[in-house]
Amino acid sequence: VCTSRFWFNYRHVANTLSVYRSVKRLGIPDSHIVLMLADDMACNPRNPKPATVFSHKNMELNVYGDDVEVDYRSYEVTVENFLRVLTGRIPPSTPRSKRLLSDDRSNILIYMTGHGGNGFLKFQDSEEITNVELADAFEQMWQKRRYNELLFIIDTCQGASMYERFYSPNIMALASSQVGEDSLSHQPDLGIGVHLMDRYTFYVLEFLEEIHPASQTNMNDLFQVCPKSLCVSTPGHRTDLFQRDPQNVLITDFFGSVRKVEITTETISLDRNLADFESK
């Protein structure tokens, strides 16, 4: 979810699209991704390279590409829609791609980025979502067993305040900075004229680029990403609500999709001729 609009918030859109791209590369299909963006970067009149969104100064990687499916764009990215998607209280006319159809065996990854403060996250310069609302929404998801395990990553200023209030089980949270600190952006690009990425997400992405679908890296490695020397802010994490030890949790449990598979050993025997009879 990218909660900002306007040209100078280019980096938030680039953050979200980069995470989207990594998640797709590790195997999660579009039908399982709900992407909320204010989709105004690629075709913005101020973009010197139209139809592209870059994540790195040397313009190596166009994260906008051909394969981006934005489910909620522009003015549809509101607190109300976000909470509706999470809790499932959606008007019946909403199409399948805009819904979160998860059940009690689904692992959910939520990534949010934008401008935030102590206890809230700003949505598109006009509204806010507070950490209490978010915690209540997660609790309603838990009551309805809409998730098995949930990983919440937030890259904003004072991000750790957003996960302080969670009280439902099986949630793990990561934030790019503690309360009172600001998350900083990574590098400006002189050609495009704005900052391209935020530091925390940049280093997380470098980490994710080395993961492939069969990899066995676990969450403890993700916690080590972006130490203070590189990130200037102190990333934080919260694992007390999580039942498994983070050491045993694979990155691909959330970022990729590795399914349980069983070999089919039984067959039933169908009678060809009898079937002929029945259809007449």
Partner 1 sequence: FQLAIPVTVIFTPESVPGDLPRPLPFRDVQEMEISVNLRTSITSRYEMFYRSTTAQEEVALDAATAQEADVALHPLQDTSFGSLMVFVVPETSSLLPEGISVYVGKHRIALVRAGASLAALRTRLRQLTQVMSFTASSIATALSDRVPDGQLGPDAGRHLKSSLGYEITFSLLNPDPKSHAVEWDIEDAVSRYVQPVLDKLSLVANFSVDSQIQYYAVLGVKPRFDKESSSFLLSAHSLPHVINPVEARLGSSAASLYPVLNFLLYIPERSHSPLYIQDRDEAPVSTNAFHSPRWGGIMIYNVEAPASPQTSLPLRVNVDMVRVMEVFLAQLRLLFGLSREALPPEFLLESPGNEGLADWELDRLLWAHTVENIATVSTTLTSLAQLLDQIGNIVIKDDVASEVYRAVAAAQSAMAELATGDLHSAFQASKEAVTSSERAFFDPSLLHLLYFPDDQKYAIYIPLFLPVAVPILLSLAKIVREARQRKKEPTKVD
b/e string for 27-42 if b means 16 or more Cβ within 10 A?
ebeeeeebbbbbbbbb
User: Which x/- pattern over 99-128 shows residues binding partner 1 (rule: CB under 8 A)?
Assistant: x-x-xxx-----------------------
Q: Which of 46, 49, 73, 145 binds partner 1 (CB under 8 A)?
A: 145
Among 44, 62, 97, 234, binds partner 1 (CB under 8 A): 97
Among 49, 144, 224, 248, binds partner 1 (CB under 8 A): 144
- Give residue 37's identity as a one-letter amino acid code: L
Query: Which among 12, 56, 157, 195 is annotated as catalytic?
Result: 157
Three-state SS for 84-112 is HHHHCCCCCCCCHHHCCCCCCCCEEEEEE
Check binding of 213 to partner 1 (CB under 8 A): yes
- Establish if 215 lies at the interface with partner 1 (CB under 8 A): no
CB 197 within 8 A of CB 16: no
Which residue of 46, 49, 73, 89 would you call a contact of partner 1, by CB under 8 A? 89
* Closer by beta carbon to partner 1, 119 or else 246: 119
Of 115, 195, 226, 231, the active-site residue reads: 115
Does residue 157 carry a catalytic annotation?
Answer: yes
Per rule CB under 8 A, is residue 216 in the interface with partner 1? no
Pick from 51, 73, 80, 191: which binds partner 1 (CB under 8 A)? 80
Site string for partner 1, 231-270 (x = CB under 8 A): ------------x-------------xxxxxxxxxxxxxx
Taking CB under 8 A as the criterion, the residue among 52, 107, 130, 215 binding partner 1 is 130
The overall longest dimension of the chain from CA atoms, in Å, is 77
Angle at the Cα of 198 from the Cα atoms of 197 and 199, rounded to 5 degrees: 120
Total residues in contact with partner 1, by rule CB under 8 A: 54
Overall residue count recorded for the chain in this entry: 280
For residue 37, what is the DSSP state? E
Stretch that binds partner 1, among 5-13, 94-102, 158-166, 220-228 (CB under 8 A): 94-102
Q: Smallest gap, in angstroms, from Cβ of residue 214 to partner 1?
A: 7
Closest to 139 measured CA to CA, from 159, 169, 113, 119? 169
Contact 55, 20 (CB under 8 A): no
Bridge partners, 127 (sequence order) = 123
CB of 72 to partner 1, least distance (A): 16
Alpha carbons within 13 A on the beta-carbon side of 120: 10
Continuous segment of H or E residues that includes residue 205: helix 199-209
Distance of CA 263 to the CA centre of its chain: 32
Catalytic site positions: 115, 157
Binding site for partner 1 (CB under 8 A): 27-31, 79-80, 83-84, 87-91, 95-97, 99, 101, 103-105, 130, 132-133, 136, 140, 143-145, 213-214, 243, 257-272, 274-276, 278-279
